[in-house]
Structure 1
């Protein structure tokens, strides 16, 4: 067990990194390193590796270890050792989840991020899911966050009651990523658990500002792959009490987030490549490549926030 398992990740912006591949579907470590540095320069508090946007189900164990080690080395060698690494470690069994946690820790991770098991969806009642997390927490080599994303778990949606009780009982559970978009759930969790011991995090740019009002510890946002500085700016505006400017920026981020969702994970990578000059829109099959053409209603909101990102010093 980690010697200090009840310290949550710090408040801030976390980018769930996309994983760049070459045309032959091998890891493009050069583009990944360039992406990591741009995120670091965008003042993110941390990086989420091997999440949904990182195509975790498509990566082998050795590739996962190499990826984490590459990100850690890139940050350290370029003067960003304080940026936290949260690594996706969810699996269908407690045994493999613990193995992923161990491998990620050895490669340089600070925290794990764990989806509920979803293969046997019909059998995943609340008690079964809670026991899964308790069993993982009892043997975990590092602290971790619960990952609630019904869209990738066959509709499994962990309740605030389960999250709160698990966090209170298990010091290794230090946060939750709520991609479900339920701000009421975030409010209940944040109000029930001390901020110094638990981080309830919004899981999308789309509701970042409302989530901050509800007690979010920051945001884990796919759109930050494009515009990390804008997300950092939104948090700054909120903390400074400039609600009018924060609402205006949130509107732009919400529209861009919705547009980006329509292009898929490969589309995120293609948009990064087109605007920042590294990587390509290649994903491992069956996801395929980014769209050949992007409709104006998709490109317009994204172009707007990219232009704003590039205008920030």
Structure 2
């Protein structure tokens, strides 16, 4: 018990140090914009991040929506460096995604990042706007909880601030509430959980809730999950914030001002658009349907109502999303009153 109390105190020191103004409610794993040759479109990425900064308080880079599972270390380095430039300029926060590898490999990658970006430790992290590192359980359908604990323990022993990332749709494994509770009791640098499973078992567990900050990554029915509206999550880390950051900000604001009907209406419309966009993206035959769905929506937020006249965005590998998919996306956005009047990237 004494060790758990000590870990909670250490955790609060970390949280107060990194987030002196409080933990943000809205985070985003940004999509990766590509050039025709498959390289990162740096100008387009920076413009997108800068636009999102009006409503989104922090990013996970590279995340699943960023194609983080498929990137080389050089691409990861490039992505993080450009995200840090925007974060420092706009006063945002950054979780650095360390998504692949065994526990010892993830720990080594974190130490590599710390040596390069924050050799002075906590003070350097704060100066660089780095919230910490997001790490997944080890991959594989047969992974035991003993293995999950051992891998994540090795990561926690780096001493770096951590967000564990639950996404069994990709990893085929999960950290169970009991395992996460054990890690929380032992390590005060375990600060947060992003749960994209849609199962929500960890957030509902007394072993977890109230000890670390909880971010929901699963899409849909947003308002019911938000703590301020009676839910169990402190905030969200959503792929749809790539385009809908302003809409989420309006939803939060409406609820706080007592206009519950407007907040619930926005939540319903956002849910409907995401479901239809994701269904459309699944027909495209791409490796990352969530990234494609958000690229379809972002294309309209970048270029406005006439986005169908602009060449479609590219997925990883350089493949261009076809015009027909853009046309259908435009119809959905118009149907639910979420088609922007002007694009942020309009020239």
TM-score between the two structures when normalised by the length of structure 1: 0.84
1:28 Cα deviation (Å)? 0.6
Matched, 1:110 2:127: no
- Aligned residue in 1 for 2:325: 294
1:237 Cα deviation (Å)? 2.7
* 1:214-237 Cα deviation digits (max 9, x unpaired): 221111111111111111222223
After superposition, where does 1:136-175 map in structure 2 within 5 Å?
136-140=155-159, 142-154=160-172, 156-175=173-192
1:157 Cα deviation (Å)? 3.0
| Counterparts in 2 of 1:166 and 1:214: CA distance versus 1, 3 Å | farther
- Aligned residue in 2 for 1:121: 141
- Aligned residue in 2 for 1:131: 150
1:268 Cα deviation (Å)? 2.2
Matched, 1:201 2:227: no
* 1:251-287 Cα deviation digits (max 9, x unpaired): 01111121232312234224323431399521224x9
For the 8 Å contact 2:27–2:238, the answer to whether it is kept is yes
1:3 Cα deviation (Å)? 12
- Aligned residue in 2 for 1:86: 95
Distance in 1 of aligned mates of 2:266 and 2:182: 35
1:21 Cα deviation (Å)? 1.0
- Aligned residue in 1 for 2:264: 247
For the 8 Å contact 1:16–1:222, the answer to whether it is kept is yes
For the 8 Å contact 1:227–1:305, the answer to whether it is kept is no
Q: Which has the higher contact order (CA 8 A, sep 6+)?
A: 1
Number of equivalent positions = 299
For the 8 Å contact 1:5–1:172, the answer to whether it is kept is yes
- Aligned residue in 1 for 2:284: none
| Counterparts in 2 of 1:65 and 1:201: CA distance versus 1, 3 Å | same
1:95 Cα deviation (Å)? 2.8
Structure showing greater Rg? 2
1:56 Cα deviation (Å)? 0.7
Distance in 2 of aligned mates of 1:50 and 1:158: 21
SS of aligned partner of 1:44 = coil
Distance in 1 of aligned mates of 2:38 and 2:32: 10
| Counterparts in 2 of 1:96 and 1:249: CA distance versus 1, 3 Å | same
| Counterparts in 2 of 1:75 and 1:101: CA distance versus 1, 3 Å | same
Distance in 1 of aligned mates of 2:24 and 2:87: 19
Distance in 2 of aligned mates of 1:2 and 1:69: 27
After superposition, where does 1:65-84 map in structure 2 within 5 Å?
65-77=77-89, 80-81=90-91, 83-84=92-93
Alpha-carbon RMSD: 3.0
Distance in 2 of aligned mates of 1:290 and 1:267: 10
For the 8 Å contact 2:203–2:209, the answer to whether it is kept is no
SS of aligned partner of 1:161 = helix
* Greater alpha carbon shift after TM alignment, 251-260 vs 106-115: 106-115
TM-score between the two structures when normalised by the length of structure 2: 0.76
| Counterparts in 2 of 1:125 and 1:247: CA distance versus 1, 3 Å | same
| Counterparts in 2 of 1:281 and 1:244: CA distance versus 1, 3 Å | same
Equivalent of 1:40, from 27, 31, 53?
A: 53
- Aligned residue in 1 for 2:316: 284
1:245 Cα deviation (Å)? 1.9
